[in-house]
Structures are given as structure tokens and as C-alpha cells.
Chains A and B, each alone.
Chain A
Amino acid sequence: ETGVTQSPTHLIKTRGQQVTLRCSSQSGHNTVSWYQQALGQGPQFIFQYYREEENGRGNFPPRFSGLQFPNYSSELNVNALELDDSALYLCASSLGQLGTTKNIQYFGAGTRLSVL
């Protein structure tokens, strides 16, 4: 049990729709990262938020956006869904220290998104 919870666990959407996925970080963790894991692949880094600001982004288009709230919960929003967006979406929280956000990451169980 990592203390990181994600909701919903499963979601079905149709192409072109918008989706919001939620993550509740481990208590006190000020850094959250989001990953996309396609079937049979390793997770791919989407972006990271540190103290409510984006702190790095992987190779994902702008229709993938995020928010981090003062209570360190966060959202991943995906607009104009495409079939290839079908994947397991994982969030990971960590405690960033002064001068660095690098520290062990604790993963949630993920949200499985299916786009039809």
C-alpha cells in the first residue's frame, strides 16, 4: 500500500471526448508525476508537477494537461481523445527536497482508459 490513490479505476470514452483522471498523493508529498503505459510497454513520462507548477514534460502533445492543487492532489486532463490514448495511466508522488525534486516515487494502482 503506497498511500497513492487514483480514480476512477476504469473508464470508457469515445474518440474526440475529454477525460479527467484524478490522483491523491501520499500525505505530505509535494511532487506528482504522471505516466502512460500502453499494453505490453513500460510506462512513459507525461509530465511532473512540483508545488503546483509543471516541472518537466515528456513527449506528449498539449492536449495532455495537468493541475496540482494546494492539498497536493492532482488531475490529468486529456482533450480530443484518440484511439491510441487507450492505456493505463499511473500517477506517482514523491517528496521533493530543497533544490531537487528527485526522490523515490510511490505509484498508484492506475486508471485504465479505453477509447472506442
Chain B
Amino acid sequence: KQEVTQIPAALSVPEGENLVLNCSFTDSAIYNLQWFRQDPGKGLTSLLLIQSSQREQTSGRLNASLDKSSGRSTLYIAASQPGDSATYLCAVGELTGANNLFFGTGTRLTVIP
């Protein structure tokens, strides 16, 4: 069974810092990997989607990488802002079966002004 782990569980950084969030998964037979943002009590906002054949995706200040063979992904946030404060979730779509996602427990990010 696929297991997704995110480290660290929580992170506080001063505004302007660059930071990296980590995600690891146990089964490398994945279809894709997504990074989501979740604000307190809210639903999920998709940030980046990486297909299994891709190595990275970029959107603005965000860059996500994927190393399928080692079962790892990172989300790099450049020049962090207080508005980036949220929980970031990594989710893996498996190669077989239904189109369900396996989520990590998230990293709660606080950017201090």
C-alpha cells in the first residue's frame, strides 16, 4: 500500500527566505504527483502537477521536482511571503487502480513578517 510522508510537519521562516518542503512515497509505480495548498478549514488548491515522466514543474515562485526512482519530491518556494502561510499537501496518484490520490499529512508553513 502506498504511503506518503512529509517532512517537516511544521516550519516557520522569516519573510523573504527560500524554503524546501519534502515528500517521500513508498511505491514508485506512480501516475503523477501533485502539490496542494490548504488554508485553515478550507478545501484544497492545486499548485503543481508532475506527471511520472516529468522531472519538475514551475509556477511563479514555486518549483516542484520529482525523483520517482528514489520516491521523493520537493516543493521549493522562493522569496516566501506571509500569504504563503498554509498547509502544503503532497499527493500521489498510483499507476493502477482508480484515480484516487494518496496524501501525506502535510507541512504547516508559517511565514513571519
Contacts and interface: CB of A to CB of B under 8 A. Distances in A.
14 contacts: A31-B99, A33-B98, A42-B91, A43-B44, A55-B98, A56-B97, A56-B98, A56-B99, A90-B44, A92-B44, A101-B98, A104-B34, A105-B101, A109-B43
Nearest to A96: B99
Interface in A55-73: 55-58
**Interface size classification for chain B:** 20 to 34
Contact of B99 (A41, A105, A108): A105
A94 B103 contact: no
**Interface size classification for chain A:** 20 to 34
B46 A104 contact: yes
A7 interface: no
A42 B44 CA distance: 11
B102 interface: yes
A20 to B, nearest CB: 19
Dominant SS among interface residues on chain B? strand
Given A42-B103, A105-B99, 8 more contacts: A31-B99, A33-B99, A40-B105, A43-B103, A55-B99, A101-B98, A102-B93, A102-B99
Contacts, number: 73
B42 A33 contact: no
Interface of A: 2, 6, 31, 33, 35, 40-45, 48, 50, 55-58, 88, 90, 92, 94, 96, 100-110, 112
B35 to A, nearest CB: 12
